[in-house]
Amino acid sequence: MPAEDSAGRRRRGPSMADVARLAGVSGQTVSRVANDRNNVDAVTRDRVQAAMRQLGYRPNSAARALRNGEYRSIGVIVFELHSFGTTRTLDAIATAATISGYAINLVPVLDVTQSAVTSAFSRLGEQAVDGVIILIEAHTLDEAGVRLPHGLPVVVVDSSAHYDYPIVDTDQRQGARLATEHLLGLGHATVWHLGGPPTSFAADRRRRSWEATLLDHGREVPPVFDGDWTATSGYEAGRQLAVNAEVTAVFVANDQMALGLLRALHEHGRDVPGDVSVVGFDDMEEAAHFWPPLTTIRQNFVDVGRLSVDALIREIHAGEHHHEPVAVAAKLVHRSSTGPAPGR
């Protein structure tokens, strides 16, 4: 339990009443000063502010939230901050929320098990939040069943349209098409794919769009390799791709796996982009300094974050709901890891 003072009472900060007493005014006047209302005499205001400073007064946000029925805080459920995309999106969400005057309540899912997700959701039920943004990959969500308190506004950052909640995400379809067509445009007969985990909707979208693009152009669709977003999984898949001489172009579902692939290609003495061209996805800051610098699809995480906060706040205030999924455009960043098909 918290520290207590000599009388055995909980140590709490000074309240409005304390400030009021010191300044010789009523609590209500203190409230008015604290909230910047204009109908307070300048002299009185100064006196109150001096008293606040002297006592180190800070408003009690619990009381305020109780009174106003609003926490001005939004919960963000995340599963590990290892993934580059999640981290950047969280950053953007935090920034957007702060600008809109909302605090961020970070609710981590401790491990991949279903019970961890369920427990994160139930923790959230007791949290002081007005709404929730879900940043974990969808399949986990599905399995846990939607155990979120009814009536809590929710926005999902993901690529499935299967939820009862508003959705904001990068336009995976368009991004993957950009990558694939870039490689085809360089004269490669076809494009191989190193995908994300099959359980991720984002990975699924990228894979489908890659496939559709190939078919649109009348190309063969090579078998897919699946990774788990980590560089290590990219390296492992890469060891198989590297020994296959037919492989001249690979679209990798994220930059980290692309890094692993590059390493595998180097180890097998295959030149990039001379023998094999590689395109990533995300455009993490490091990608520009991979060896060789990675051509990749840049996601606009700032917009994703901002738009999900906007959507959530709209839902909180107006009870609005169920708009079209919001898709944020991605763009191709051309660097040195892609070049013309060999012998062309």
282: left (phi over 0), alpha (psi -120 to 50) or beta: left
Contact residues for a second copy, defined by CB under 8 A: 1-3, 10-13, 56, 58-63, 65-66, 69-71, 73, 76, 80-82, 87-88, 90-91, 94-95, 98-99, 103-108, 110, 123, 125-128, 130, 149-151, 230-232, 234-235, 256, 259-260, 262-263, 266, 285-286, 288-291, 293, 316-319
Q: Are 82 and 70 in contact (CB under 8 A)?
A: no
Nearer to DNA, 1 or 318 (CB): 1
Nearer to DNA, 49 or 60 (CB): 60
91 makes contact, choosing from DNA, a second copy, none, with CB < 5 to 8 Å by partner type, with a second copy
CA dist., res. 143 & res. 136, Å (int): 12
DSSP letters, 130-155, are: SEEEE-S-HHHHHHH---SPTT--EE
Shortest distance (Å) from residue 175 CB to a second copy: 21
List C-alpha distances in Å: 261 to 76, 241, 279.
Answer: 32, 8, 11
Shortest distance (Å) from residue 86 CB to a second copy: 10
Residues in CB range of 133: below 8 A, 6 or more apart: 74, 75, 76, 77, 93, 154, 155, 156, 157, 308, 309, 312
122 makes contact with DNA (CB under 7 A):
no
Q: Decide: residue 60, CB within 10 A, 0-12 exposed, 13-18 middle, 19+ buried.
A: middle
Nearer to DNA, 40 or 341 (CB): 40
6 makes contact with DNA (CB under 7 A):
no
x-marked contacts with DNA along 51-90 as a string, rule CB under 7 A: --------xx--xx-xxxx---------------------
CA dist., res. 93 & res. 133, Å (int): 9
Written as six digits, the tokens of 132 are 């929730």
Residue 341: CB atoms within 10 A of its CB come to 17
Shortest distance (Å) from residue 309 CB to DNA: 23
Interface stretch with DNA, choices 17-25, 112-120, 143-151, 245-253 (CB under 7 A): 17-25
| Residues of this chain that bind DNA (CB under 7 A) | 12, 15-17, 24-29, 31-32, 34-35, 38-41, 43-44, 59-60, 63-64, 66-69
